[in-house]
Amino acid sequence: MSERRLEFTVPPDSAGTRLDRCLSRLIPDSSRAFLQKLIRAERVCCDGVPCDLPRRPVTGGMRIEVAIPEDDADGSIPAAEPFAFDILYEDDWMLVIDKPAGVVVHPAAGNPAGTVVNALLGRYPHWEELFAGVGARPGIVHRLDKDTSGCLVVAKTPDAQYKLSTLFAERKTAKTYLAIVRGVPARPSGELTGLIGRHPVNRQKMALVERGGKTAVTRYRVRGEGEFSGCKVALLEVEILTGRTHQIRVHMASIGTPVLGDGVYGGTRGIETPPPRQMLHAWHLMLPHPADGRMLSFESPVPADMAAAIAAAGMVLPSAGGVSGRNGA
């Protein structure tokens, strides 16, 4: 059986991290469950010695080798395409782009091209060699839904990818969104918590579940109220303390105020003419720089379609000057 072999050196500041957690950041294209399976099958070597214990702590400078059966992973790099995104920030370590709605972050089933990753490979042709072995997600450290616009951070080296992935995994970033929701929350502000996992019936959706999900924490604050296409709506500032799939969409739907335009979670019901996409925008992002730890802050301008919906509802576009955000943890 053919296999894909990867080699990594553990950064000093990751000493003490569990082997499976370390690998999930080094190989973001693979799930932790899959990596645990490889470890238990002794397909992972630490300093030349096979290891079958996912919870084994790694040490700084440790050499890790991973053998991935080709049947279980696609190691191919996506095709390069033209880059046409607005850049909010760039240095030797990282890039922050303004992702428009309608664009998928990385190739997957049904979306082999036209993604952010395809464009990145067009801008940085050397990435094909630099990120060889990471699969279809070179540089990707977090994601936004296809129809969510706004700030997206991209790593420019494998080392930066590991460090940035660690910052997001350890919740050392602050992510604030703007959302227009159908209806008005009963409380002007609040914190929503619960376990989010796959919907028990519709596997294309996420849902609040009693067991088997991952903890999700969302805070919201109402910034305005109005009426859009015959329905009451509200403009919210939303902060997520975790980064679960569809987190804001699930949490807002759970209190009866789904994101406007979100047909999956009820955001188009009762709307005479719904907007063409979910009104959700990754507005503001704070994170420590992966090289020196200085706190960086980025803002993505509210896109024209969402600004038009805010105006049509008689609400005022907020200023990011008063945005909430956690400094670090």
Name which of 131, 242, 246 is nearest 198 in CA terms.
246
pLDDT of residue 320: 62
pLDDT of residue 110: 67
Pull the structure tokens for residue 40.
Answer: 């238990």
Pull the structure tokens for residue 104.
Answer: 């998928």
| CATH 3.30.2350.10, the chain: domain bounds | 86-168, 174-322
Name which of 229, 220, 158, 231 is nearest 192 in CA terms.
220
Q: Which residue has the tokens 């993505």?
A: 300
pLDDT of residue 3: 66
Catalytic residue among 145, 147, 262, 292: 145
Q: What is the pTM of this model?
A: 0.81
Instruction: Give the pairing type, strands 149-155 and 86-90.
Output: unpaired
| CATH 3.30.2350.10 at 174-322, yes or no | yes
pLDDT of residue 277: 95
Whether residue 71 lies in the annotated active site? no
pLDDT of residue 263: 92
Instruction: Give the pairing type, strands 149-155 and 280-288.
Output: parallel
State residue 63 phi and psi, 5-degree precision.
-95, 120
| CATH 3.10.290.10, the chain: domain bounds | 3-72
Q: What topology is assigned to 86-168 in CATH?
A: Pseudouridine synthase (3.30.2350)
pLDDT of residue 328: 32
pLDDT of residue 69: 73
Please report, in tens digits, the pLDDT of each residue of the chain (329 residues total). 456 678 888 888 788 989 998 888 787 767 778 889 899 988 899 999 999 999 999 998 999 998 877 554 455 678 899 999 999 999 999 999 999 999 999 887 667 789 999 999 999 999 988 887 666 789 999 999 999 999 999 999 988 998 999 899 888 999 999 999 999 999 999 999 999 998 888 877 899 999 888 899 999 999 999 999 999 999 999 999 998 999 999 999 999 999 999 999 999 998 889 999 999 999 999 999 999 999 999 999 999 999 999 999 999 988 765 454 443 32
pLDDT of residue 327: 34
pLDDT of residue 253: 97
Q: Is the dihedral of CA 117, 120, 125, 131 positive or negative?
A: negative
> 134-165 in b/e burial notation, b at 16+ Cβ within 10 A?
bbbbbbbbbbbbebbbbbbbbbbbbbbbbbbb
- CATH code for the part of the protein at 3-72: 3.10.290.10
